[in-house]
Structure 1
Amino acid sequence: MTSDIRQLLTSLQFSDSAFPSGFYTMSHGLEGYSQARLVDPGEVQDLLCSLLVHTVGPGDATALAAAHRAAGAGDWDLVEEIDHRLFASKLNAEMRRASVRSGHQLADLADVVLGSDALDEYQRRVKARATPGCQPVVSALIYSATGVATRIAVASDLSAFAVSFVGAALRLRLTDHRQAQVILHAVGPVIEQVAHDAVERDVHDLGGFAPMADIMSAQHERAEARLFAS
């Protein structure tokens, strides 16, 4: 296999919706919008694009790109700083919890799947509670350790987010299986641009701005009944 093929296979495996990273338990705020009746089936694609551009791209994707570069340089202090910046940028407790739970699950799985000590230093810091362990940072370290290029790593994680979001829309009956595939194909150019911007963005500019999404997450956190963790 060529290096390109190995990169592709790794990115496909870790971004696959069947990979048990915890994404299945998240709606990424969509359930909050649904509970407030602020999204209908025809608006799922627009909401997904908005979140990619205004929150996930400037936040998670930017952190992933920066952590990927830092890991490649062996700068674990910078990785820790990026982890803290990303955690602090998530204003709602349930979003912070979801990211950390998924990150810890992903790190544990990486030890089993990869059989590598590539994450040992980071795991030591997480266990010492020196760094939170957000999912995009853990993903960055896995992709870096397996030789996946930064742009491919970022695009893969954005794709995983989109698939998870549309999967939540299916379970919330905001779309069907056929339209879900239409949506995923249509957001491809958006993911490409968001990935490009995330790779080029300085880590000091990390963090999105989407007040309505934060409000929906806050309301969802206190909802009497919830299907999803976020």
Structure 2
Amino acid sequence: MNALAPQSLLQLIWLASPALPVGGFSYSEGLEAAVDSGRVHDEASAAHWLVEQLHLTLAPGDLAVLAAALPAWHAGDQARVRVLNDWVLSTRESAEFRLQTEQMGRSFLEWLKLHHPDAQACFDGLATTYPIAFAFAAARSGADARSACLAFAFGWAENMTAAAVKAVPLGQSAGQRMLARLAQEMPAAVDDAMARDDDTRQAFSPMLAILSAQHEHQYSRLFRS
């Protein structure tokens, strides 16, 4: 694989940064509910939870749709983009998860309009989801699909380890160990995502959906999901 041009690499680092103003830090994606139920209670259980989430939900779902959306944006295939965006919306199994992808998508679009004046026209009529907006930005950076997926996965992992540090709670060193473990798992997760097509891409995680629904009514919480 050819190395990314420096500008493309820097763009991907920027897109993956938790500092990007899209609100990713405010979500735990069911983790806080897992802590409340006792399923996650220490560093080992939190690391196991996130590794499983990476392989069972992120890779076959959002990473796979990102891998499909990036070439669609490169080709200017708006019809394909709309189909993929609708798939993301239809696979959100709780109100919280749907609100998350819509809110992050809207915020990402506002950020995109500062850097790509045609972004609004490209998303016209779409209830923009986060993976589809990320794919647009990655395509404009000149990144290939694998690099874009790795950047997306690492940005997700940073937000999720930060959520675990706050919710369990854990120390910063534990968070770094968990992030290192997730980074080791990411290449295989991206390989899985890249190998999927429309027939094998899937988002089915019943217990995560149940925990997310329970989180909507959780008495005390730090996160929006």
TM-score by length of 1: 0.92
Q: How does 1:57-136 map to 2 (within 5 A)?
A: 57-112=59-114, 114-117=115-118, 119-126=119-126, 132-136=127-131
The whole-number CA distance in structure 1 between the counterparts of 2:213 and 2:4 is 44
Deviations 1:29-85 (A, max 9, x none): 111101111111121111001001111111111111111111111111110000111
Q: 1:219 aligns with which of 175, 190, 214?
A: 214
The whole-number CA distance in structure 1 between the counterparts of 2:219 and 2:89 is 26
8 Å contact from structure 1 (residues 82, 203) kept in 2: no
TM-score by length of 2: 0.94
Residue identity (%):
26
8 Å contact from structure 2 (residues 109, 120) kept in 1: no
- Worse-superposed segment, 82-91 or 169-178: 169-178
Deviations 1:94-138 (A, max 9, x none): 1010011001101110111x2442x23332122xxxxx2110110
8 Å contact from structure 1 (residues 21, 102) kept in 2: yes
Shift of 1:172: 1.2
The whole-number CA distance in structure 1 between the counterparts of 2:111 and 2:120 is 13
Q: 2:150 aligns with which of 148, 155, 159?
A: 155
Off by >3 Å, runs of 4+ in structure 1: none
Question: In structure 2, what is the equivalent of residue 13 of structure 1?
Answer: 14
Question: In structure 2, what is the equivalent of residue 202 of structure 1?
Answer: 197
Q: 1:180 aligns with which of 175, 191, 199?
A: 175
The whole-number CA distance in structure 2 between the counterparts of 1:229 and 1:32 is 11
Shift of 1:3: 5.2
The whole-number CA distance in structure 2 between the counterparts of 1:116 and 1:36 is 46
Q: 1:54 aligns with which of 45, 52, 56?
A: 56
One-letter amino acid matched to 1:123:
F
One-letter amino acid matched to 1:65:
A
The whole-number CA distance in structure 2 between the counterparts of 1:44 and 1:122 is 39
Shift of 1:202: 0.2
Shift of 1:205: 2.4
Shift of 1:17: 1.4
The whole-number CA distance in structure 2 between the counterparts of 1:115 and 1:134 is 17
Q: How many residues align?
A: 222
One-letter amino acid matched to 1:30:
L
User: Structure 2, unaligned stretches of length 5 or more?
Assistant: none
- Worse-superposed segment, 207-216 or 44-53: 207-216
The whole-number CA distance in structure 2 between the counterparts of 1:34 and 1:216 is 10
